[in-house]
Amino acid sequence: METGGNKAERLSRLLSFVLRHKPHEFEIELNEHGFVGLEDFVKAVSAKQSSWRDLTVEDILDAVETSERPRFEIAGDMVRARYGHSIEVDLGYEPAAPPEHLYHGGRGDRADEIISDGLRPLSRSYVHLSKDLDTAREVGRRRDYQPAIFRIRAAEAAKAGCAFFEATSEVWLTKEVPADFLDPVPAEGAAS
């Protein structure tokens, strides 16, 4: 059995790594929508990592259910990551009308590039957008102590042809946001 730390949290990180980025390292084959059978995941991971040799389907269900954010989706006897992929996966999301504004937090050293070229996914399949400013700041701080924060005029961008996808109630995805629809948000404590 996995020991030390919060097992569900560590399993959530493992699920993210495998389902979003490296299924091939575990000889896991995702279907076209990014799903893999729960039993197949358990067999593959327990065979590759001795620290997870006692992994069960119930462990995965618990990790998904107790996660602070809805990163994963269970459908029948299958599991997938809802967003965050660096591998090509058709998540099957239909374009949706976004809220008037969405937010993006990222590395501060990319601010000028984003202002010039807009938002693009870089190593991910989609650009991740937050529904509120505080979440964007939190996400940005995971990448940089002084992140660049942008407000996206999402409804306006959608009218101009940008497709937005609702991955969860808090996370929106898009392939790109042209610079014309981005407004830099001043750093906290900075004079407006």
79-89 pLDDT, tens digit each? 999 998 989 88
2 pLDDT more than 90 = no
75-121 pLDDT, tens digit each? 999 999 999 898 988 889 999 999 999 999 999 999 999 999 999 98
Predicted confidence at residue 67, as pLDDT, reads: 81
Predicted confidence at residue 88, as pLDDT, reads: 87
CATH architecture assignment, domain 7-81 = Orthogonal Bundle (1.10)
CATH of the domain spanning 102-185, picked from 3.40.50.300, 3.40.50.720, 3.40.50.460, 3.20.170.30: 3.20.170.30
Domain with CATH 1.10.10.970 in the chain: 7-81
Q: What is the 3-state secondary structure (H, E, C) of 54-104?
A: CCCHHHHHHHHHHCCCCCEEEECCEEEECCCCCCCCCCCCCCCCCCCCEEE
130-150 pLDDT, tens digit each? 999 999 999 999 888 999 999
